[in-house]
């Protein structure tokens, strides 16, 4: 029995879901041991064990609910990506979300200005776990794009203003920044944020994702120290994955 539990422990400990299952297995093992040795322990010890058996699974369940609701990307351990079928499934979920994002009006349907000719698969597995900060005063507009990134394991934080973004980057390291162009702060708030980021000496990849597909914006973004400008979800996805997956 101990050998089986040891093998199960090794298998379960590879990811968050497995660790939760391991905890529940531990509660089950405690229950079995308590039943077998209940005659040899005191009433107070019995009380503590019973409370543990009752309360601990509830705490584990609450942890699982929190993970599913707040950090679904964290449910997948790195080993999941060693299985090509699992990897393709996650990529399929991302593509589905991007197709839905592309249905929005005023989207440029051409995948333009890709940052590299390298195949996307080269960067995808390395991108998992990287952190993105997305600045947009209307984050609901990006829900499908965020779902695409999170489905392959990226972590996306969202803020609504330049000040919030500056506060975030001062206390946490991000692998890529995505910003809209126009916000209540100004029609070129995206560029204003880019300037402040670069003035702080941060070289974090910075991509403008705006509904305006003016081709002049791309050159202007590059000149100002940015890495790309697009309103196409697939182009955005490629640029971000290439940036964080290549470590740039």
Place of tokens 């916000």: 183
- Three-state SS letters, 205-222: CEEEECCCCCCHHHHHHH
Q: Which CATH number fits domain 80-245: 3.40.50.300, 3.40.1710.10, 3.30.360.10, 3.40.50.2300?
A: 3.40.50.2300
From the list 12, 51, 14, 3, the residue with the least C-alpha distance to 30 is: 51
- The angle at the Cα of 241, spanning 235 to 247, to the nearest 5 degrees, equals 135
Q: Taking the mean position of all CA atoms in its chain, how far away is CA 123?
A: 15
The neighbouring-strand residues paired with 135 are 159, 179
Please list the residues that pair with 157 across neighbouring strands.
133
Residues of the chain with CATH 3.40.50.2300: 80-245
In tens digits, the chain (248 residues) has pLDDT values of 444 544 544 544 455 666 667 777 777 778 777 777 777 788 888 888 888 888 888 887 787 777 666 655 555 555 555 555 455 555 677 878 888 787 776 655 554 545 555 666 677 778 888 999 999 999 999 999 999 999 888 999 999 999 999 999 999 999 999 999 999 999 999 999 999 999 999 999 999 998 776 777 788 899 999 999 998 898 899 899 989 987 65
Task: State pTM to two decimals.
Answer: 0.64
């Amino acid at each position: 029995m101990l050998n089986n539990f040891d093998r199960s422990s090794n298998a379960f400990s590879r990811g968050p879901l497995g660790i939760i299952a391991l905890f529940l297995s531990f509660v089950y093992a405690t229950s079995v041991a308590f039943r077998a040795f209940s005659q040899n322990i005191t009433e107070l010890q019995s009380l503590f064990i019973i409370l543990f058996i009752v309360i601990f699974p509830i705490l584990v369940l609450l942890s699982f609910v929190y993970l599913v609701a707040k950090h679904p990307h964290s449910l997948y351990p790195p080993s999941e990506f060693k299985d090509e079928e699992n990897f393709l499934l996650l990529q399929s979920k991302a593509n589905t979300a991007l197709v839905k994002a592309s249905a929005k009006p005023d989207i440029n349907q051409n995948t333009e200005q890709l940052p590299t000719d390298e195949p996307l698969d080269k960067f995808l597995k390395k991108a998992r776990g990287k952190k993105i900060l997305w600045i947009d005063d209307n984050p609901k507009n990006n829900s499908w794009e965020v779902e695409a990134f999170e489905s392959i394991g990226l972590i996306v934080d969202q803020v609504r203003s330049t000040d919030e973004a500056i506060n975030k980057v001062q206390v946490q390291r991000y692998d890529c920044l995505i910003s809209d162009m126009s916000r209540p702060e100004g029609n070129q708030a995206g560029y204003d944020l880019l300037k402040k980021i670069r003035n702080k000496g941060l070289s974090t990849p910075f991509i403008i994702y705006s509904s305006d597909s003016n081709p002049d914006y791309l050159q202007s973004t590059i000149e100002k120290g940015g890495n790309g400008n697009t309103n196409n979800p697939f182009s955005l996805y490629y640029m971000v994955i290439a940036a964080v997956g290549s470590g740039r």
